[in-house]
Amino acid sequence: MLARTPLTCSHPAVIRHPTIAAIHPVLIALLTIGFLTACGSSSTVAVLEQRPAGKNNEVLSWQASASQGGAAHLVRVSIDTDPAKLMGWSRKDVGYRALLDVSARGPAGELLKKTVVVPITETHEIGQDGNTIQVAYDAAGTMMESGFRRGAALDALRFKPTPGDWELSVRVRVISGGNRRSLTVIRAVRVELLSRGEGDKALQHWTELPPKVEGL
C-alpha cells in the first residue's frame, strides 16, 4: 500500500517514490510534468471591466504604475452580452461578431497589440423537429443569474512590465461590413490579467480612464 505523503512543490517523493517509479517510467514522467506545471501556474492578479456605449471604435483604457520589473503578464479578454438588446432588429439566421484591439503601452513607448475576434451572437438549440435539431442565433455566452450572458475569456497578448506607467486599452469595433448596431449588445468588456509574479512584481492596481472614440 502506498504511503500518503503530502505533495509539495519541493518534496522529493513527488518524482522519486520507488513504488510509483516501478509501475512505469512513462507514468512517473507524466505525473512529474503535470505536477510541476501546476506548481508554476499563473494566478489572476487583476480583473478590469468597463461598459461600452455601443459606439464603433470606442476605446476603453486603464493605467497602472510598476515600481519594479516583474514577471510576464497574460492578458485575456471577454465580453458580457445583453440578449434584450437583440430584440426588434437582429436576424436569427445571421451571426454577429466584434473585433477587440487589445494593446499594452509601456513607459518607454513600447507597444504590444493583438486583435481578438469575439462572437456577439452564436447558435443555440431552440427545438427539435423529428431527427432535426433546430438552431438560431442568440446572444453569445453562458447565461448568468442576472439574465446577461458571459463569453469565454480569450488570450490576447503577453507583456513583461518594466518600471513606470503602463496603459492597457481595448478598442471595440465592428467587423468590416457588419451591423454597427450589434455593438449595443455588448454590455461589458472584461480584461483579466494573470501572472506568476507576487506583490509589487504584479500589476494589481489599475485606474480606469475615461472612454473615447478614435478612428483607426
Query: Is residue 49 very low, low, confident or very high in pLDDT (cuts 50, 70, 90)?
Result: very high
Mean pLDDT of all residues belonging to the chain? 84
Residue 168 scores a pLDDT above 70: yes
Using alpha carbons only, how large is the chain's radius of gyration in Å? 22
Both 20 and 104 in one domain: the answer is: no
Predicted confidence at residue 69, as pLDDT, reads 85
Is the model more confident about 81 or about 38? Answer: 81
Both 50 and 147 in one domain: the answer is: yes
Both 185 and 134 in one domain: the answer is: yes
Give the number of C-alpha atoms closer than 13 A to the C-alpha of residue 204, restricted to the C-beta side: 10
Confidence (pTM): 0.78
Both 204 and 151 in one domain: the answer is: yes
Element (H, E) at 99: strand 97-105
Query: Is residue 96 very low, low, confident or very high in pLDDT (cuts 50, 70, 90)?
Result: very high
Mean pLDDT, rounded, for 173-180: 94
The DSSP code for 109 is S
Q: Which domain holds residue 37?
A: 1-41
Mean pLDDT, rounded, for 71-86: 97
Residue 94 scores a pLDDT above 80: yes
How many distinct structural domains can be found in the chain?
Answer: 2
Length of the chain: 216
Mean pLDDT, rounded, for 75-89: 97
Both 104 and 200 in one domain: the answer is: yes
Mean pLDDT, rounded, for 17-28: 46
Both 25 and 48 in one domain: the answer is: no
Mean pLDDT, rounded, for 1-9: 40
On whether the CB atoms of residues 112 and 73 are closer than 8 A, the answer is no
DSSP 4-63: -PPP-TT-THHHH-HHHHHH-HHHHHHHHHHHHHHHT--EEEEEEEE---S-TTEEEEEE
Both 66 and 156 in one domain: the answer is: yes
Q: Looking at 68-72, 110-114, 135-139, which range is the least confident one?
A: 68-72
Both 37 and 50 in one domain: the answer is: no
Domain CATH for 139: 2.60.120
* The three three-digit cell numbers of residue 125, written as one number: 438549440
Both 146 and 103 in one domain: the answer is: yes
Both 26 and 106 in one domain: the answer is: no
Both 61 and 156 in one domain: the answer is: yes
Mean pLDDT, rounded, for 76-83: 98
Both 191 and 177 in one domain: the answer is: yes
Predicted confidence at residue 130, as pLDDT, reads 83
